[in-house]
Structure 1
């Protein structure tokens, strides 16, 4: 087996310990089939790791694969560190960053999404690890010198572009969610300040955006549409949603029970967010009230 040179940029030495540990641990983990030697030399720009591996018994495809995977894991460790740094810089240089109050929450929001995406993976293999390791193996199959900074910047260019686009998208989603949460807080404050008119309001979900309203005694109620929502909240919802929320404001109940066969419906979920513990969703029920066939 030939020498492989992994050149670690001295400008990134803050990541050196983790890279070196992964490289040594990765090679030691395959010592049952592979012996190895690492020689380190330093020049003006790089800390060069010259790695040599040879089989303990015979050179088989399995031994060759173990050798390449051990090297690729070390490459991936460097890439992961650079990736996190890139994500952080992408966030703090985004046009919307200064407008966001809880900046640490945004950072965790984006990083948690990326980590979750990696865990879901491709056929059980974490996405970024799979992508980076495969690229490293393909490269090392034909080349014996891998400069880590060049590999990150050029070999993974499309992968990095995809990552940047994903970060931008998650920032926009975060801002949209924060705006929605602010609207819900204002709407909740308005609704909960209204004088109570019903102790219990029953809603039967007949169709996507259609409810029948009943009081605690199962007497049918008809909203009059006389109460408007605050302008800054009404504009955040479609007409059908706004009408239903307006009806609930008009009835001003202490407690709401929704009877539905579709608890995951968008409107039901919206009402749950607004009313929180004041709202109960019931999916198992039997009563002499017609439930539409599409509920």
Structure 2
């Protein structure tokens, strides 16, 4: 543009030549604001869940969480015995019928049980694992190579 012209009218240049640039800039800014608001909302949610965990008496000493896939998990008690489905349903009430995702069910179960220790077996860094870490902080430990982990690996 400047190689063919001696003068530039900034207002016209901004309005016509940079229109696509400003549109893209506006889109990116809106996306960044939305992400910032979502992050703030998530942090407030985590604070609320931490509060629930802190005021609740532990109903169980230890919970082992076995992740079989991204949508399948199993909970075991401190003796490594499965937490019975009936017990979990009684604890969680009718949440399963409300169409909640497995992450919501897992988090609800852990908050309701409020265990003193949570052991995550063979877990990957997923959103639910990060949320569990943020809510239960120092109660969470990771296990990668115990008998339960080896048995899980054999079943895969």
- Range into which the TM-score falls when normalised by the shorter chain: 0.7 to 0.9
- TM superposition shift of 1:248: 1.1
Task: Tell me if structure 2 keeps the 8 A contact 1:227–1:249.
Answer: no
Partner of 1:274: 135
Equivalenced residue count is 148
Structure 2 residue matching 1:280: 3-state secondary structure = strand
User: Following TM superposition, by how much is the alpha carbon of 1:202 offset from its aligned partner in structure 2, in angstroms?
Assistant: 1.5
CA contact (8 A) 1:203 1:213 kept: yes
Shift of 1:149: 4.2
Instruction: Looking at secondary structure, tell me which structure has more strand per residue.
Output: 1
What is the SS of the residue equivalent to 1:176? helix
**CA-to-partner distance for each residue in 1:16-50, whole Å, 9 max, x for gaps?**
xxxxxxxxxxxxxxxxxxxxxxxxxxxxxxxxxxx
3-state secondary structure, aligned to 1:253: coil
Q: Matches of 1:187 and 1:157 in 2, distance apart?
A: 45
Distance 1:279 1:148 in 2: 59
Q: Distance in 1 between matches of 2:116 and 2:146?
A: 23
Is 2:91 aligned against 1:227? yes
Deviation at 1:228, TM superposition (A): 4.6
Q: How does 1:200-279 map to 2 (within 5 A)?
A: 200-222=62-84, 223-228=87-92, 238-261=100-123, 263-279=124-140
Q: Which residue is 2:59 aligned to?
A: 197
* Contact 1:201–1:256 (Cα < 8 Å) also in 2: yes
Shift of 1:164: 0.8
Residue 286 (str. 1) matches residue 143 (str. 2): no
SS at match of 2:8: strand
Q: How does 1:48-127 map onto structure 2 within 5 Å?
A: none
Q: Per-residue deviation at 1:157?
A: 0.9
The runs of 4+ residues in structure 1 deviating greater than 3 Å are 147-150
Return the index of the structure with the highest Cα Rg.
1
Match of 1:171 among 33, 56, 76: 33
Match in the other structure for 1:140: 2
Matched, 1:161 2:23: yes
Q: Which has the higher contact order (CA 8 A, sep 6+)?
A: 2
Q: Is the 8 A contact 1:226 1:250 kept in 2?
A: no
Give ranges in structure 2 of 5+ residues lacking alignment: none
| TM-score calculated relative to the size of structure 1 | 0.43
